[in-house]
Copies of this chain bind each other. A is one copy, B any other.
Amino acid sequence: MTLKEVCKILKNKNNIEILTHSSPDGDTFGCGFALCLALQSMGKNARVVVEKLPSKFEFLTKGVKEQDFQGEFVVSVDIAALSLLGSNAEKYKDIIDLCIDHHGSNSIEIQDKYVDAQAAAACEIIYQIILELGVKITKEIANCLYTGISTDTGCFRFSNTTAQTHRIAADLMETGCDFEIINKNMFETKSKARVELEKNLYDTMEYFAEGKGAIICISLDMLERLNINNDDIEGIESIPRLIEGVVLGITMKEKEKNSYKISVRTNDGINASKFCEKFGGGGHTAAAGCKLSGEYETVKEKLIKSAEEFI
């Protein structure tokens, strides 16, 4: 279906519920609250259905009216599969009327579905929908859309970023949106636990192959002792790979006693997948993984030895 058709449907509906995905991110919330603000500004009843709203995203609800109504129409945003509805699955999995997403892999089987896999963020699609609906992009709406675009592109750094991404960002900037605060909160702020984790990870860091390789390890003990949650661990696999001169970075994650999930990240065309295949794993050229069992030192030496041969 076309954007025009999506907008025609939305114009004709009222009492709209907007579904966001579980393990939520800036894009699903950005889509949800931006669309909600737009629909409410058209005089419609609308609400965003969230599983939970982490405090760092609360600012996105600014200007959203709490409206009491019986839902009549359900839209899912940035949700690639019904399994991502989390605790909302039971209530909503069979009653989604419209699906708006940017995941090429989208597996939600309904008639009214708009998927643009070229969009770096689903918020790029919502931006076009809001324009097509003839709604003015307020600073509040812009903050939501900018948050989705910035988080899904790593602040315009990831390969999914396009010229269109920057052109939309430019339009959002003109509303006076809070891009500086948003990026600081999304990218620069570290939890105290994360700081402790990095300190401990650096203590485990070992270089090999004349500094072309680096390895770190997260032990179960570390996670427990520092009381680390999943958000704190996000992206740690890239820590070794981002060190100057390192072309093959290994992260050992202890999953249970003497059992490790190995994440490998590479630079300069070193094939991470080929390396992991040696241990029955695989993945992409620059990011792959495998599993290994054994004593910490044994597993580590095994990885280092074969990485030295591989590089």
Q: A25: CB under 8 A from chain B?
A: no
In angstroms, Cα B198 to Cα A123, docked, is 36
Q: Is the CB of B243 within 8 A of A190?
A: yes
In angstroms, Cα B187 to Cα A198, docked, is 18
User: A164 to chain B: which residues have CB within 8 Å?
Assistant: 170
In angstroms, Cα B192 to Cα A205, docked, is 11
Q: Which of A32-40, A87-95, A124-132, A173-181 contacts B (4 or more CB under 8 A)?
A: A173-181
Q: A52: CB under 8 A from chain B?
A: no
User: A187 to chain B: which residues have CB within 8 Å?
Assistant: 157
Query: Which one, B156, B180, B191, contacts A155 given CB within 8 A?
Result: B156
Q: A4: CB under 8 A from chain B?
A: no
Query: Which one, B161, B162, B165, B202, contacts A195 given CB within 8 A?
Result: B202
Contacts beyond the supplied A156-B156, A188-B238: 13 A-B pairs with Cβ under 8 Å:
A155-B155, A157-B179, A159-B180, A163-B170, A163-B174, A166-B167, A166-B170, A167-B167, A188-B242, A189-B242, A189-B244, A192-B244, A195-B243
Q: How many copies does the complex hold?
A: 2
Q: A310: CB under 8 A from chain B?
A: no
Residue of B nearest to A201 (CB): B199
User: A191 to chain B: which residues have CB within 8 Å?
Assistant: 243-244
Q: A169: CB under 8 A from chain B?
A: yes
Q: In chain A between 169 and 220, which residues have their CB closer than 8 angstroms to a CB of chain B?
A: 169-171, 173-174, 179-180, 183-184, 187-192, 195-196, 198-199, 202-203, 205, 207, 211
A–B pairs, 29, beta carbons within 8 Å: A155-B157, A157-B180, A157-B183, A157-B184, A157-B188, A161-B179, A163-B170, A163-B171, A163-B173, A163-B174, A166-B167, A166-B173, A167-B170, A188-B238, A188-B242, A189-B242, A189-B243, A189-B244, A190-B242, A190-B243, A191-B244, A192-B244, A195-B202, A195-B243, A196-B202, A198-B202, A199-B202, A199-B203, A202-B202
